[in-house]
Amino acid sequence: MKKILKILSIIIGVIALDLVTKGILLYMITGYIPVVGAAWNLVPNPYLMAYVTGFFNIVFTWNFGTAFSLFNSMGEYAPIILVIMTGFLIGVILYYLFARAKKYEIVPLALIAGGAIGNLIDRIRFGAVVDFLDFHIGGYHWPAFNVADICIVFGVGLYILNWYTARQRCLKSIKKDGK
């Protein structure tokens, strides 16, 4: 029961933080928080920017593709295809998380699932994902991203780190027992 509560609290926390930050941005731009609607009809100016520092801006942009705007020009069926693919991947992650995940996999996979669900909610509601964090050096910009993307990337990095350290511990114990 503790495992389930931990998983759900992380996932719900990530989704809430993601939706709240996107909601604040949409409210600042439109004067209301849209529940549903086609992305291209909700905000008249599809790319707005507020300068924050010499290397960071708050922007508003729709991401019709996947991470880093990949597959941005898949055509009119892209939202449906991406919703189905994302839903399938979330299902696989959740199954593994609840049924088989080792202790060190719980937090990273819950972060990944929460971020993926946050972006899936946008994709279902608007047909695109709201991105608003823009880091840059000079004229070179990293693709805009959001809180869900941060959680996904951090979760993947943490998963890899945890997997590597668990593997190293296992190898050490094998060497120790083999001597």
Residues recognised as catalytic: 131, 149
Helix (H) or strand (E) holding 21: helix 2-30
Beta pairing class for 140-141 and 48-51: unpaired
CA distances from 120 to 6, 11, 25, 73, 124 (A): 22, 13, 18, 18, 6
What are residue 43's phi and psi, to 5 degrees?
A: -125, 120
> How far, in Å, CA of 65 to CA of 73, rounded?
7
DSSP state, residue 100: T
Q: Where are the alpha helices (DSSP H) in 31-77?
A: 39-42
Q: Name every residue whose Cβ is closer than 8 Å to that of residue 166 and which is 6 or more positions away in sequence.
A: 102, 104
Q: 42-69 burial string, b = 16+ CB within 10 Å, else e?
A: bbeeeebeeeeeeeebeebbbbbbbeeb
